[in-house]
Amino acid sequence: MVCLGQIYGDVLYYATSMFDHYYKGVTYSRPEAYYFWGYYFFMNFIWIVIPGYLLYRSVEASGRAFQALAKQSEVQQGNGHTKKRN
């Protein structure tokens, strides 16, 4: 959940900055291109990539946990014996 909050905050930051830039004419970075791409874009994009990776791993682990639970539930329904598969 923390990963989703971080990604949401970054997307919101980018969206409000772009809105102010295109509709109000207000720019929050220096006019040189390397400041825009280096500080504004790249330094903030890191905070999307890392939580995105952690979110992916978390969803993957949750999926494995639910598969293990389903398998255990299947075994218990057979009174301790595994069901024959056709």
Measured distance CA(36)–CA(82) in Å, rounded: 60
- Report the predicted TM-score, pTM, of the whole model to 2 decimal places: 0.68
Print pLDDT tens along the chain (86 aa): 788 899 999 999 888 888 888 888 888 777 777 887 888 888 888 999 999 999 999 999 999 999 999 888 877 776 555 556 66
Count other Cβ atoms within 10 Å, centred on residue 2: 10
Q: Pick from 49, 61, 39, 54: which is nearest to 11 by CA?
A: 49
Please identify which residue in the block is written with the tokens 């909050």. Answer: 5
